[in-house]
Amino acid sequence: NLKLVTCTAPVNIAVIKYWGKRDEDLVLPINSSLSVTLHQDQLKTTTTVASSRSLKEDRIWLNGKEENINLPRLQSCLREIRRLARKRRSSGDGGAESSGLAHKVHICSVNNFPTAAGLASSAAGYACLVYALARLYGLEAELSEVARLGSGSACRSVYGGFVQWLMGEREDGKDSVAEQVEAESHWPELRVLILVVSAERKLVGSTAGMQTSVETSPLLKFKKPLVVPAHPPVEGHCVVLDEFARRAANTFGKAIALGSSCLLTTHYNISVTNECSVKTTISLVNLNRNANNKVAYTFDAGPNAVIYTLQQHLEQFVELLKHFFPPETNGEQFVKGLPVRPAS
Ligand code: DP6
C-alpha cells in the first residue's frame, strides 16, 4: 500500500514584485505581480511524497534535515489538498485514485541551490509540494491557490513561461490565482542570470520584510501598485527594458523600478536587501554602463542579483562580470535560466 510520487518545480523571478499582504492568513497580496519561471534544470526543488497505512504521522525533511511539520503555512497546504481530494472523492469522480487519504505522508524536499538566500526557494518548494501531493491523491485541480497558501510567490511557479498572479478582490481569496500570460516559447532570446554573491540565509525573511515595508515604506502606504517611469532615470536607455516594455506593454520596465524602490524605502532595508546588495547594485549600474545598458536587473529579498539580458549579449556581459566583480564576492558563480514549462 506504499504510494510514492516525485516531482520537480522551478523557481520564478518576479519583474513586478509582490511585496506586501492584504491578508496574512490567506496570503493575499496588495498588488498583482508578474514573473518569469526559470528553466527546470537550473534552480529547482525536487520533492518526493510517500504515503502508506503504516506511517504514524506526517513528517517533512528539507535538504536532508527533518523540519517542523506543524508550520501553519505547511499545514494550510496539507489541509487544503486533502480537503479538495476528499471533496472530489465524495463527488464520485475520484475513484480508487484518491484512496489513501486517511494515510499519513512523509515529504522529502531538496533544493539544488541555496535555500532562503533570497532565490525564491519557498516559491519552488511550495509549488513542488502542492503539485506532488495533488499527484499522490490523484487530484486534478487549479493548484496555484493552494500553493499561494504556502508562500505567495509559489503560486506563480505552478506555471511555466511568463506568469501573472492576479491580486483578486474577494475576501476569501478565490480570485487571487496565477495564470500563464505567455508561454515559455514567447521570448526565446531572453536569458536570466543569477549572480550569487551570498548563499547565506537571509537575515529577514520575506514575510517579515514585507510586513515592515507595509508599515514603514512611504511608497507602500498607498497599498496599491505605483506607476513609475518605465526607464529608471539613473540608467537611461536600456535595450532589455525597451524590449520588455514593448512586449509587455511597459509592465516589465515599470517593475524593475518598483521592485527596487519598495525594497529600498523600507526602514529595515539594510537587513532585507543588505549592504552586500547595495554594493552589488552600484557595481551593476556601473557595469551596465560599460555594457552599453544591455541588461536589466532586479533583486528579491536578498543580496543576489538577477540579470535579464538577451542571448546575443550574454557572452560579453559574463566576460564583463568576471572582469569587474572582485573575486571575494564570488561573482563568478552564475546560473543561467530560461523560461520553462509547468512543474512535472
Ligand atoms: C521579493 O513569496 O517568499 O521574492 O508569501 O510571505 O512567503 P511569503 O513571501 P514570498 O515573497 C516573495 C517576495 C519577492 C517578490 C516576488 O517574488 O514577487
Model ipTM value: 0.99
pLDDT value at position 289?
A: 62
All three cell numbers of 267, joined, read: 526602514
Compute the half-sphere exposure of residue 158: CA atoms within 13 Å on the CB side of its CA.
Answer: 30
* pLDDT exceeds cutoff 50 at 178: yes
All three cell numbers of 233, joined, read: 532615470
Helix, coil or strand: residue 80: helix
Helix, coil or strand: residue 73: helix
The DSSP bridge pattern shows strands 28-29 and 59-62 to be unpaired
* pLDDT exceeds cutoff 60 at 107: yes
Q: Are 322 and 330 in contact (CB under 8 A)?
A: no
Angle of helix 274-290 relative to helix 311-324, nearest 10 degrees? 120
pLDDT value at position 169?
A: 92
Highest-confidence segment of 115-119, 159-163, 332-336: 159-163
Exposure string over 25-64, b if 16+ CB within 10 A, otherwise e: ebbbbbbbbbbbbbbbebbbbbbbbbbeeeeeebbbebee
Spacing, Cα 98 to ligand 1 middle (Å):
32
Q: Are 128 and 9 in contact (CB under 8 A)?
A: yes
Q: Which atom of ligand 1 is nearest to the CA of 152?
A: 5
Q: Which atom of ligand 1 is nearest to the CA of 123?
A: 2
Quote the mean pLDDT of the chain. 74
Closest CA to 44 of 295, 338, 272: 338
Closest CA to 34 of 340, 309, 252, 305: 252
Q: Which of 1-5, 30-34, 171-175 has the lowest mean pLDDT?
A: 30-34
* pLDDT exceeds cutoff 80 at 251: no
Q: Which of 114-128, 190-204, 214-228 has the lowest mean pLDDT?
A: 214-228
Please, which pLDDT band fits residue 117 given cuts at 50, 70 and 90?
A: low
Angle at 215 between CA 214 and CA 221, to 5 degrees: 60
SS (H, E, C) 286-299: HHHHHCCCCCEEEE
Q: Which atom of ligand 1 is nearest to the CA of 154?
A: 2
Q: Which of 104-113, 193-202, 257-266, 272-281 has the lowest mean pLDDT?
A: 257-266
pTM of this structure: 0.80
Closest CA to 74 of 185, 22, 166, 150: 150
pLDDT value at position 226?
A: 41
Pocket test for ligand 1, best of 260, 300, 304, 306 (most atoms within 8 A of CB): 300
Q: Is 31 in the pocket of ligand 1 (CB under 6 A)?
A: no
Spacing, Cα 187 to ligand 1 middle (Å):
24
* Sole residue written with cell 535560466: 337
The 10s digit of each residue's pLDDT in 291-340 is 556 677 777 766 677 777 888 888 887 777 776 665 444 433 444 333 33
The residue that leads in pLDDT, 336 or 171, is: 171
* pLDDT exceeds cutoff 50 at 253: no
Q: Is 164 in the pocket of ligand 1 (CB under 6 A)?
A: no
